[in-house]
Amino acid sequence: MTDTPVVSCNDLMITYDEKVAVNGLSFEAFAGRVLAILGPNGAGKTSTVEALEGYRMPSRGSISVLGYDPAKSSKALSSRIGVMLQEGGVHPVMSPTEAIHLFSAYYNNPLAPTGILQLVGLEDVARKPYKKLSGGEKQRLSLGLAIIGRPEVVFLDEPTAGVDPQGRLGIREIIMRLREQGACIILTTHELPEAERLADEVLILNKGKKVMQGSVQELLSLGSKSVGVIRLRVASSLDRELLANTAGVDMGEVAEELPGKYLINAPGTPERIVAITTLLASLDISIDTLTSGTANLEEAYLNLIEGDANDS
């Protein structure tokens, strides 16, 4: 294992005609670690990963994957990286067995096709055409094809999208095994619980720019506007200003996520909890749930994205 980053971007800019997809992005990723790239639609996640894979030529800045510029050194890199596209990539009439045997022929020292088929759990559909596989089976096949050449750097674009819970578990296990073997894994995802489970580090993008990079714990502490949050669910909507005054916080710290579902960015001190329950009692509103604790990754992420939108 090395402290030298195996993937690095410096001041990366990617444009499509006039549109800027990624602007001034710098980050690093290391061997034996999982980096999750998070961000809303259009944040620049796929553009960034595609530039790392060599599909996109940056308009500005530099990229290094295992010390090579991916746009210029595809030959040197192709046997050392593994790529899982967001969708497609296999002939519709090709079966998993055919695809895995074909891809194994591309590499000098591939994993055994039967082992891969077993690893991704596709033995039962080994001879079924790709077009007839379920979404989850397609994803698992795509993952198998990405790792068959024993890659040192693995790019996974939305690896668990459309996969059932059991399939997700299998994909997670494979990713963790790759990580243990020393591979650098870079994945994009919309699914924050997935990132929370898998990632050593997260990189949050918004509108093509980096919002933050750090460990999940750092994201949680940065994204929590205070040292704690209170989650409240009641039968009917409340006046946000009244709720904020009662909790002793600014109105901006109270978010109504759904009608009757509130997130208050403030520690759940006994005094604050009493004040809130007293208010609800005076309004004769019954409580469905009332909890206090720290923000989860989703809340921290939304706070950071919201904060970034307010700043820009």
Partner 1 sequence: MTANHISPEETGWKAGLNLVTQSGKASAFTRRLFAQTRLEATMTLKRGESLLLTLGIPIVLLIFFAEVHILPASTKKPIDFLSPGILALAVMSTSMVSLGIATGFERSYKVLKRLGTTPLGRPALIVSKIAAVLLIEIVQAVILILVSLGLGWKPSGNAGEAVIIIILGTASFSGIGLFLAGTLKAEVNLAVANGLYLLLLLMGNMIIPVSKFPSWMATLARALPAAALSSGLFHSLNHGSPVPAWAWLVLIAWTVAAPVAAAISWKWE
Task: List contacts with partner 1 (CB under 8 A).
Answer: 1-2, 4, 6, 31-32, 53-55, 66-68, 74-76, 78-81, 83, 85, 87-94, 98, 101-113, 115-116, 119, 145, 147, 149-150, 152, 174, 177-178, 181-184
Q: How far is the CB of 167 from partner 1 (least distance, A)?
A: 18
The nearer residue to partner 1, 145 or 230, going by C-beta atoms, is 145
Neighbour-count burial of 222, counting CB atoms closer than 10 A to its CB (0-12 exposed, 13-18 middle, 19+ buried): middle
> Among candidates 187, 220, 212, 223, which has minimal Cα distance to 37?
187
Q: How far is the CB of 31 from partner 1 (least distance, A)?
A: 4
> Among candidates 218, 230, 302, which has minimal Cα distance to 267?
230
**What span, in angstroms and rounded, lies between the C-alpha atoms of 238 and 220?**
27
The nearer residue to partner 1, 80 or 240, going by C-beta atoms, is 80
Q: What is the end-to-end Cα distance of the chain in Å, rounded? A: 39
The nearer residue to partner 1, 157 or 196, going by C-beta atoms, is 157
The nearer residue to partner 1, 72 or 288, going by C-beta atoms, is 72
Beta strands 184-188 and 153-157, pairing class: parallel
Position 8, amino acid: S
The nearer residue to partner 1, 171 or 280, going by C-beta atoms, is 171
- 51 touches 12 (CB < 8 A): yes
- What are residue 205's DSSP bridge partners? 210
Q: How far is the CB of 25 from partner 1 (least distance, A)?
A: 21
CA atoms within 13 A on the CB side of 142: 27
- What are residue 292's DSSP bridge partners? 230
The nearer residue to partner 1, 26 or 278, going by C-beta atoms, is 26
Q: Token pair for residue 227?
A: 């040292």
Q: How far is the CB of 187 from partner 1 (least distance, A)?
A: 16
Q: How far is the CB of 268 from partner 1 (least distance, A)?
A: 44
- What are residue 15's DSSP bridge partners? 20
The nearer residue to partner 1, 113 or 223, going by C-beta atoms, is 113
Neighbour-count burial of 68, counting CB atoms closer than 10 A to its CB (0-12 exposed, 13-18 middle, 19+ buried): middle
CA atoms within 13 A on the CB side of 148: 28
**What span, in angstroms and rounded, lies between the C-alpha atoms of 147 and 201?**
21
Q: How far is the CB of 39 from partner 1 (least distance, A)?
A: 22
Q: How far is the CB of 111 from partner 1 (least distance, A)?
A: 4
